[in-house]
Structures are given as C-alpha cells and as structure tokens.
Amino acid sequence: MKKHTRFIILILALLIVLSGCGKSKDKDVSAAPSPTSAQNENVHETAPPAGETDEGTAQELPETAEAESASGRSLLMTVGDVGVYAEDVSYIAYQLYSLGRAKDPYQYTQALNYWLLNSVSAEVLAGPETEELLGEEYAALRESYIQEYNGYLNEYAQSMYEEGDTDETKAEKYRLAQKEYEDQGLDENSYVYKSLALDAMDEWIARNVSEEKLTVSDEDILARFGEYAQMDKTYFEDAVTMYEYYTMMSGYESYYQPAGYRGILHILLSSDEALLEAYANAATDDEKEAARQALIDASKAELDDIYASFASGVPFEELIGRYNTDPGMTGSALTEGYPVHKDSITYMEEFTQGAFSDKMLAPGDISDPVVTEYGVHVLYYLRDIPEGVVEMTEEISAEIALEIRTGLVQDAVTEAMKRYPIIYTDLYETMIGEKNVLDD
C-alpha cells in the first residue's frame, strides 16, 4: 500500500501534515532544518536521570537512546531502542497549532501521538530493515539524502555569514552550524537513517498490513460523511464569520452549507490608479463619495455598454468575457458565483452591500455600479445557494475512504509498536502526564 504522504519528515525540522488524518485541507509546512527551531521555553532543558520511569523505577535505557540523551536532548521515553525527545514533541505541537490542528501550542499528547505513529514508528518498525525493504532503490535514495542534508547544512551555515568574512571565518561558522545540528540530534547519519526509514515504511506496511484489514465499505464512507456534515452544521449553522474564516481563508472543506448565501458573478472594470488611490485614501464621507463618483464617471462608456447589452439580452457571462479584469472570475466561480452572505467578512464591505442591494432581489438581477478599492464592479445575482449538507462527490468519497484506510493503517502500526518494550522517564510525567496511543 502506498502512503498518502509522509506525515513528519525528520527530527526537529521538516513537518508535513498527513491530510488523511483529518478532514480539513492542511497546508504543508516545510523548511530547511534549523537546529534551534524546536526550542521552546516550555520544554524542560535538563534531561532527567537516564533510565528512570514515571514510576521512579530505574531501568536501563537502550544504548542508542542513552547516547543521544547524553548529548543534552530531553528524553521522554523509548520504544525499543528509539528515543522520543521533548524538543521534537514541543516542535510538532507548535506546528499543529500553527496549522489549526490544535487549540493551543501545548497539546503535547496529541503531538506525541502523531510523532509516535509517523516518525518513531518508521524508525522502530522499518529502520532495522531499511536496506532490504527498499531493495534496488536504497543506494540512490541514501545518496540523495546525503546531498539533501548537506544542502540544508550549507544553507544554514551561509545564513550565518557576514560581509567581510574570510574563508577561515566561513569554515569556522560551518563547523559551528554542523555542531549545532549534531547537538540537536540532526547529524548526517541520523538524517539519512530517518529519511530512509520513512521511505521504507511504505514497503513495511505493504508486507505487514493486509488489504483485507484495510477494506472500506460504502456504508463506512457514508457514515463518516454524515458525522462530518453534522459536525460542520453544529459549527457553522449560525456562524458566518467562523464559516468563512475556515472555508474561504483557511481552506477547510465544509460538508454543510449555511443558509443565506448567494452566488454572485461580477465584472471588475479597469480603473485609473490615481483615482483608486484617491478613493482608498479619502478621509471624509464627502471625499469618499466624490472619489467614488469620479471612478464611475471614468468608466461611464463601459458601464453604459454593459447595461445596454444586458438589457438587450446579452448573457452576463458573455459580458464578463468582454470587460472583466478579475482573474478569479473563471472556472467554478464563473459557473457557481462567489458565495456571498449579507454578513460576509471575505469581501470588501461595498461589494457585500451591493450583492444585497435593493436592485438585487432575485436571481437574474444586476446591480448599480459598485465601487471598492479594487475599482468599479457590476454584480449579477446568479443563484441562491441551497442550505444543507453538500452533495457527496466522488472526490469527497475518495478523500474519506483514504482517511479511513489511513486510520486502519495507524491501528495496525500501533499494535505492532506495542510489541516493543517502552520505557518512560520522569520528564514524561511532567510534560505529558497522561497515556499515549501506545498505552493500553
């Protein structure tokens, strides 16, 4: 089975959210690794005594985790011989918050579970068999990750360079950058190993998780769709501002459409920049009105032709093709219209008011000229957007099926991870303080 996308790539630095883990369309977050990127003032900087569990019972840590903990990183727990560190969990928690997947940047249990099931699991389950699992691809992938790591390291070192640095100074800064990477567990060998393990996890899943266990029925998809639609209705039914913030500004796909929306087409005419600036900078109502009228007067010839053509039966869509300068008025926007509510926050206030003016009483109506800081518009009332659960398209069905399958894969990975010895340090109790996905 091929994974939807790698969820978390490499310790501290590269985070890609697995879109199959949640219904919202997540934005990918990736950046060249910075050895300080995971530092957070809420993370304990001093590691607890190696080997003590949250019950205070001394146990011997696996050699790999013990060595890495000795470097100064804050060990939370080990799974097999793989260490899980506070700095990584803190960084993931902050990224999930930044992406709107957590209520605050201190949802450490949520972040830990993601880290365990996506990065740590690859090291534990696929890591020891990476070369065998990747087969003929292993050598080329390994070389590509070596080059990738050194590219990131060079980029970070160069960010430290200053004008006038000598070759000797640059070399010293490069060594400093390399040491900072290594101090944070991001040496070349670690980077390459973790990257290869993530790649090898695809094959591990294919070999260890049967298709029978991943069967998703139409009933499963419909049930999940219904759950999400009800959830969206609860969130958005009487909350236009929240609905538009999540759907129009953050890319969330709602399965429920609130009432009161219209599909609006429009023509945006080309306007003189000086007149637009005067409108935007008007200090009083009188100045604003004068600037508005000046923009309308400057577009009089085009406006007269638009209204005359429309009155004679020319379809508004055809007039868009002749006069419009808004690049967004294409594709689905042209066939469905911009979704506008009288309480919308997405559009300029004048645009929203124009969409609900006295001239816009029913589908097929056309507005008087509307002026915004973008220019002069003519609006067309295309349709009323039906309230309620949206149609479940093939695309939505496929997304939900993928999400369910991803969850089934994670269940299988969780069970496989539980077969390895798990040791906790005192810091786990302090920072997490509750069970994680591997606890029964």
φ, ψ at 329 (rounded to 5°): -85, 65
Residue 29 has pLDDT above 60, yes or no: no
Q: What percent of the chain has pLDDT over 90?
A: 76
- Taken in order 212, 217, 223, 225, is the CA torsion positive or negative? positive
Give the dihedral of Cα atoms 127, 132, 135, 141; nearest 10 deg. Answer: 30
pLDDT digits (tens, 9 = 90+) for 182-222: 887 789 999 999 999 999 999 999 999 998 889 999 999 99
For 330, residues 6+ apart whose C-beta sits below 8 A from its C-beta are none
Q: Is the pLDDT of residue 45 over 70?
A: no
Can you tell me the distance from the alpha carbon of 332 to that of 328, in angstroms, rounded to the nearest whole number?
Answer: 10
Look over the chain and give the mean of its residue pLDDT values, rounded to a whole number.
Answer: 85
CATH of 261-386, one of 1.20.1060.10, 3.50.50.60, 3.10.50.40, 3.40.50.360: 3.10.50.40
3-state secondary structure of 181: helix
Instruction: For 370-434, give the DSSP string.
Output: EEETTEEEEEEEEEEPPPEEPP--HHHHHHHHHHHHHHHHHHHHHHHHTTS-EEE-HHHHHHT-S
- Return the pLDDT at 39: 32
Give pLDDT tens digits for 364-390: 999 999 999 999 999 999 999 999 999
Distance CA 244, CA 155 (A): 38
- pLDDT of 66 > 90? The answer is no
* Mean pLDDT in residue range 7-33: 32
Domain ranges for the chain: 8-209+421-431, 261-386
Choice among 17-21, 23-27, 255-259, 374-378 with the minimum mean pLDDT: 17-21
3-state helix, strand, coil split of the chain in percent (to 5) is 50, 10, 35
Q: How many alpha carbons lie under 13 Å from residue 159 in its C-beta half-sphere? A: 12
Phi, psi of 74 (to 5 degrees): -95, 105
Contact criterion met (CB below 8 Å) for 428 and 438: no
| pLDDT on residue 225 | 97
Residue 221 phi, psi (nearest 5)? -65, -45
CB 74 within 8 A of CB 86: yes
Note the Cα 386 to chain centre separation in Å: 28
**Segment among 9-13, 129-133, 170-174, 318-322 with least mean pLDDT:** 9-13
User: Stretch 292-300: mean pLDDT, rounded?
Assistant: 97
